Copies of this chain bind each other. A is one copy, B any other.
Amino acid sequence: MTAARPDIAGCKAALAGLDIDDTPATVKQKSRDFFWYSPVLKARMDHLTADFVVAPRDADELRRALAAAYAHDVPVTTRGAGTGNYGQAMPLAGGMVLHMKHFDRVLEIAPGRVRAEAGAIIAGIDRQTRAQSGQELRMHPSTAQTATIGGFVAGGSGGVGSIRWGGLRDAGNLLSLTLVTCEAEPRTLRLTGDDIHKASHAYGVNGVITEVEAPLAPAYEWRDVLLGFDTWREANAFAYALGHQDGMLLKQLCTVAAPIGQNFFKRHARFIGPHDHLVVAMAAPNAMGALDAFAARWPSARVLFRSDRDATEGLPPAYELGWNHTTLRALRVDPSITYLQVLYGEPTVEKIVEMAEVYGDEVPGHVEFVRFDGRVRGMGLPLVRFTDEARLDAIVAGHEARGCPVFNPHRYTLEEGGMKQSDPAQLGFKRETDPKGLLNPGKMIAWDDPDHDFAAQGFYLFPGMAAQ
């Protein structure tokens, strides 16, 4: 579907009175997310910028913005805080960046659920639910302090909390989504049940999410715990076994190979030795006695840090040592480092150890343990010492050949970063909600190129992407 030429000036004129910014520096800044974790995406996307930013103040203004985009054939890239890592909020074809910062209210807090506007900061939601009801969101990304709930739902898969609750795609982890279509007269739709997944993890290609209703879990004074082990194998065997302990309530569980902790966890480094392979966990207070007893059974396990024992002033929360904060901390020290996303095959611990043996210091280990299809799985975010794209592709292929599928974070399309196949439900829903294909163009291969061969190698390059 070839898009008509956008009428940027006409669109802006139609939006008079809205919160619009077209200062080039600002537009450039609001046209970026955390795509630069990937040198591959950085090489291809660094130059991208939209034409203007609009931040609707309410639903009426949002509908006006989408109707104007539709009328004037202007591409729309919706963004929250821009903390995503796959270029999901990068405007490949320019046009309008739709900034959701004014949609920041928590609308309803009830036993077991919260409804919030899409632009609400996740940590802010948790502060309100905690204060009013002793509850908090089941899961959040490591960027909770800045990320929005809408961005998390549109681009995330899970995170802190997934060791207990599984991922966002698991039934029950989202209760409803409200979104607005991009049509002549934008409609407001509310999705529940399985329909939620028509628009979750869709990068905003098939509607602008305005409200998220999510389940709540009890809020605890989570204890941050760092344990050290002599070997990578023992650290992962410990974490895998700990993840199976249904009676010990955990919120976070990951392993980080030596010497990542000492080299890159600057503020925790004083607790960590150069040979410590780490387990980083967050546990409910009522799990700490059991955790002590459990750890005592492992030959080399040693508690390096406990937030209920050691001074915590100036330290980030443990979840900011995990997920892509691990990558971020490494990147800050060594900008040549990037990462992968690996679902280790079974037996999990053996596969984790095997990959470490195959790739050694080129791919330092970092594994998030999560519940996945009802089972404990190791979801790796190993660091990668990047040399060139060919080598990176070879590492990806090497993992997949050894039974460890890679969700490639060096691609900006839904399909290539995911299951390498089109999602008919998401595609069909896009036909209903975005008939002109204006929402985040280039992110859904199935829309642009229905006959794309996902089995073929190579990077999908959106033909409509602005030239460098």
Contact B220 A371 (CB under 8 A): no
Q: Is A238 at the interface (CB under 8 A from chain B)?
A: no
In the bound complex, do residue B247 and residue A193 qualify as a contact, i.e. CB atoms below 8 Å apart? Answer: no
How near does chain B come to A253, taking the closest CB pair, in angstroms?
12
A307 at the interface (CB under 8 A from B): no
**In the complex the two chains form, what is the Cα distance from A217 to B164 in whole Å?**
14
What sequence of 0s and 1s flags, for each residue 270-314 of chain A, a beta carbon within 8 Å of any chain B beta carbon? Answer: 000000000000001111011111101000000000000000000
The reply to whether A193 and B292 form a contact with Cβ atoms under 8 Å apart is yes
Determine the distance from Cα of A374 to Cα of B294 in the docked complex, in whole angstroms.
14
Which one, B111, B285, B294, B374, contacts A246 given CB within 8 A? Answer: B374
Does the CB pair B289–A247 fall under 8 Å? no
Chain B residues positioned under 8 Å from A216 (CB to CB): 286
Are B113 and A248 neighbours in the complex by a CB distance under 8 Å?
Answer: no
**Is A387 on the interface with B (CB-CB < 8 A)?**
no
A40 to B96, CA, bound (A): 78
Contact status B192-A374, CB under 8 Å: no
Segment of A8-16, A72-80, A170-178, A388-396 in the binding face: A170-178
Q: How many copies does the complex hold?
A: 2
A84: min CB distance to chain B, Å: 22
The reply on A249 being an interface residue by CB < 8 A is yes
Q: Is A150 an interface residue (CB 8 A)?
A: no
List residues of chain B with CB within 8 A of the CB of A294: 171
Residues of B within 8 A of A171 (CB): 245, 247-248, 290, 293-294
Interface residue A54 (Cβ < 8 Å from any Cβ of B): no
Q: Mark A47-80, 1 if CB is under 8 A from B, else 0.
A: 0000000000000000000000000000000000
Check if A218 sits within 8 Å of B215, measured CB to CB: no
Task: Enumerate chain B residues within 8 angstroms of A7, measured Cβ to Cβ.
Answer: none
Of A111, A166, A374, chain B has the most CB atoms within 10 Å of the CB of: A374
Of all chain B residues, which has the CB nearest A243?
B374
CB < 8 Å neighbour of A112 from B175, B218, B245, B290: B218
The number of chain A residues touching the other chain, given as a range, is 35 or more
- Which residue of B134, B218, B247 contacts A166 across the interface (Cβ within 8 Å)? B247
Q: Is the CB of B244 within 8 A of A374?
A: yes
From A138, A247, A249, A374, residue with most partner B Cβ within 10 Å? A247
**A172 near B218: Cβ-Cβ < 8 Å:** no
A218 contacts which chain B residues (CB < 8 A)?
111-112, 135, 217-218
A376 at the interface (CB under 8 A from B): yes
CB distance from A345 to the nearest CB of B (A): 18
> Which residues of B are found within 8 Å of A285, using beta-carbon distances?
111-112
Contact between B374 and A172, CB atoms less than 8 A apart: no
Chain B residue contacts of A112, Cβ below 8 A: 218, 220, 249, 284-286
Bound: A290/B214 CA distance, A: 12
Interface residues of A in 110-129 (CB under 8 A from B): 111-113
Task: Answer yes or no: A265 CB below 8 A from chain B CBs.
Answer: no
Q: Does A339 contact B (CB under 8 A)?
A: no
- Whether the pair B246, A193 counts as a contact (CB closer than 8 A) is no
Q: Assess whether A453 is interfacial by the CB under 8 Å rule.
A: no
A165 neighbours in B (Cβ, 8 Å): 246-247
Q: List 5 A-B contacts (CB under 8 A).
A: A172-B247, A194-B293, A215-B286, A216-B286, A218-B218
Across the A-B interface, the 5 shortest Cβ-Cβ residue pairs:
A244-B374, A172-B247, A170-B247, A166-B246, A193-B293
